[in-house]
Structure 1
Amino acid sequence: MTTFNERGVREQRDAVPDAGAPASAIGLIFGSGFLFSCLDTSGKFLVTAGFEAPFVAWVRFAVHLVLVLLLFRAWKNPALFRVSSLPWQIVRGGLLFGSTLCNFLALRTLQLAETVSIFFFAPMVITALAGPLLGEWAGWRRWMAILAGFAGVLVITRPGFGTFSIGHVFALGAMTCYSLYVILTRRMGARETAESLIFYSALTPVVLIFPAVPLYGTLPTDPLHWVVLVALGFFGGFGHWLLILAYRQATTYALAPYPYLQMVWMVAFGYVVFGDLPDAWTILGAAIIVTSGLYIVRREHKLRLAARKAARAQDGPQAKRL
């Protein structure tokens, strides 16, 4: 699943004027969506083949950790290990692992398109939680968009109509863990280095879940399973790396529509690999969620521009008095 960019990327992004996204940034978003779709497809392939979801999730982060150490040149990059609050780093890493684990558990019974559609509700949950947890309160227009997005989730899950299952519970759990992970990332961003946020989010699950690996781990006997298992970390690691590069080149608002195109990859992989096609309810619910999410991004963009304009207007008279 896709994740929001880390603090260092956000600071660079905010320094970029609110303009259209360059083609290179859009291409990076497309690439990350493709890799994240490969990650979910591989995870579903493995858990439906009999591998336990905790073991699959652990391997995904173990390979990801190795990639982080190599990409950030850990042997000469002390910022990778520097922390302000190790307990909060551990909590944040646990939330990311929980999101991945719940996602793989959901994929045992749900289609790829169903899980990603529910996951697209995360920006709305983050907007709702940002008020009590960060003091970033949403206005009534954004609350209406949040409620509309929730309606989209209900359209997909359809509780009370015999379609709501344990898979939907896990999908909602994955989305909730991820939303809390993003909230915590925003809260920690001013104190922690971007490198440490990326590093400890991979290290935490590898260390904490390692004692349980013998209970859930099963070594593959099929070479294809070995390849897919190791590839999980590459898909996740390089997918995040492409996201970082994309948000260095363009603003969140300029790139907002493009992550939702991951749905195309998920539907395609679901059909080619598993013979699944989303039903009309899933498509309708996804459309409602995506529309609501795009409205929230647009609304936050307009409020941010208004705040900047007001700040410049206030600074002008003060500069003249000086």
Structure 2
Amino acid sequence: MRKILFTSGIVLAFLGYAFFSISDACSKGLAGRLDPFEVAFFGGVFGLLIVPLLKRPNESYRALVLSSHPWLWLVRAAAVFVATAGSVEAFMLLPMPEALSLMFLMPFFVTIVSVLFLKEQVTGWAWLSVLLGFAGVMIVLRPGVKALQFGHLCAIVVAMASAVSVIAYRFAGKETSRLTLYGSSLCGPLVGDGILMVQHFVVPHGVNEWLLLFGYGFLAAAGQLLLMLAASIAPANRVALPQYSQMAWIVAFSYFIFNQPVDMWDGIGIAVVTLSGMLNWLRQKIRFEKMLHRGWWWRRKPTPEVIAATPAAVITPPLEDKPHE
């Protein structure tokens, strides 16, 4: 039974990351048509559609904006605002694999924050995987050989903002409801991007633009919901591993839809970035197996290594308020 649940969790995670990839492709499809802030704003609007699925029967919709940790809520809202706006801009300006490989620097920034500001110990395994990922990104960028653009800066800012968001998730604690956590991820883009889009706002033209906007916002929200479902029935390290399937989707979209094939060096860099994630996953798999054997892994507070290896959408209260069996 446990094996079936774990398998189901992994399948849901793969599907969730596929939704994220399609969402990113939709945002790139709007390049040159709409302002990035407007796209990010409508992402928040269509993300409202899954709120009823997250709300518990006895829970008020006010939980979207009312938190027992208001400062953490605000930090996360600001971080998600920066990450959404930056990711739309990066995907619009850069080839998709290049943008995503830079965003995969998030574990590097999580580890740095954990060591410098939280004074926590990080193992050699974590440092090795992070440095390997950084090397992969450098291969993709090839500073001095390839001209760096504003899109590269946006992608790096996305990685930094995502790291802040993940750290805020951790400090929010398990007592924070998933509706509150999701509310901060909605209000950031709705308020921040809503203000910044005013100057360049244009009404989307035609069904095609509206479909792309809907695909961007709703699929991103649906992907987050699927990851929450996956995390409720499988350990976080199992749910985190399929994240790297995003790169396969992105490479395919870049080649077949946007006519931007990956060159040899980009391919090598992407492979190194993926290898770094696999290395971190292997370390966490071994650790989680030991915890599972002891029967208490679900009660343990996530360490910096777990946080660095786990997407923000996974570090949320499970959909069922009970431990795994």
Note if contact 1:155-1:282 (Cα within 8 Å) is conserved in structure 2.
Answer: yes
Residue 55 of structure 1 corresponds to which residue in structure 2? Answer: 38
Identity of aligned residues (%): 27
Residue 258 of structure 1 corresponds to which residue in structure 2? Answer: 242
Are 1:100 and 2:84 an aligned pair?
Answer: yes
| Correspondent of 2:52 among 70, 84, 100 | 70
Return closer, same or farther for 1:133/1:293 CA change in 2, 3 Å cut-off. farther
Deviation of 1:283 after TM superposition, in Å, equals: 1.4
Deviation of 1:150 after TM superposition, in Å, equals: 0.9
- Alpha-carbon separation, structure 1, partners of 2:232 and 2:240: 14
Unaligned segments of structure 1, at least 5 residues: 1-15, 313-322
Residue 166 of structure 1 corresponds to which residue in structure 2? Answer: 150
For residue 159 of structure 1, give the secondary structure of its aligned residue in structure 2.
Answer: coil
Letter in 1 for 2:43: R
Letter in 2 for 1:31: L
- Alpha-carbon separation, structure 1, partners of 2:121 and 2:295: 19
Residue 273 of structure 2 corresponds to which residue in structure 1? Answer: 289
For residue 33 of structure 2, give the secondary structure of its aligned residue in structure 1.
Answer: coil
Larger radius of gyration: 1
- Alpha-carbon separation, structure 1, partners of 2:10 and 2:153: 33
Are 1:184 and 2:168 an aligned pair?
Answer: yes
Note if contact 2:40-2:193 (Cα within 8 Å) is conserved in structure 1.
Answer: no
Note if contact 1:120-1:290 (Cα within 8 Å) is conserved in structure 2.
Answer: no
TM-score, normalization: structure 2? 0.81
| Correspondent of 2:20 among 36, 46, 49 | 36
Deviation of 1:188 after TM superposition, in Å, equals: 1.4
- Alpha-carbon separation, structure 1, partners of 2:33 and 2:119: 44
Letter in 1 for 2:52: L
Note if contact 1:61-1:202 (Cα within 8 Å) is conserved in structure 2.
Answer: yes
For residue 98 of structure 2, give the secondary structure of its aligned residue in structure 1.
Answer: helix
Residues 260-269 or 125-134, more deviating:
125-134
How does 1:184-203 map onto structure 2 within 5 Å?
184-190=168-174, 192-203=176-187
Residues 116-125 or 37-46, more deviating:
116-125
Note if contact 1:41-1:269 (Cα within 8 Å) is conserved in structure 2.
Answer: yes
Residue 319 of structure 1 corresponds to which residue in structure 2? Answer: none
Note if contact 2:9-2:230 (Cα within 8 Å) is conserved in structure 1.
Answer: yes
Aligned-residue RMSD, C-alpha: 2.6
For residue 202 of structure 1, give the secondary structure of its aligned residue in structure 2.
Answer: helix
Are 1:139 and 2:123 an aligned pair?
Answer: yes
Return closer, same or farther for 1:74/1:213 CA change in 2, 3 Å cut-off. farther
- Alpha-carbon separation, structure 2, partners of 1:113 and 1:187: 31
Deviation of 1:280 after TM superposition, in Å, equals: 1.4
Letter in 1 for 2:204: P
- Alpha-carbon separation, structure 2, partners of 1:233 and 1:209: 13
Return closer, same or farther for 1:212/1:21 CA change in 2, 3 Å cut-off. same
Return closer, same or farther for 1:97/1:74 CA change in 2, 3 Å cut-off. farther
Unaligned segments of structure 2, at least 5 residues: 297-325
- Alpha-carbon separation, structure 2, partners of 1:21 and 1:152: 34
For residue 257 of structure 1, give the secondary structure of its aligned residue in structure 2.
Answer: helix
TM-score, normalization: structure 1? 0.82
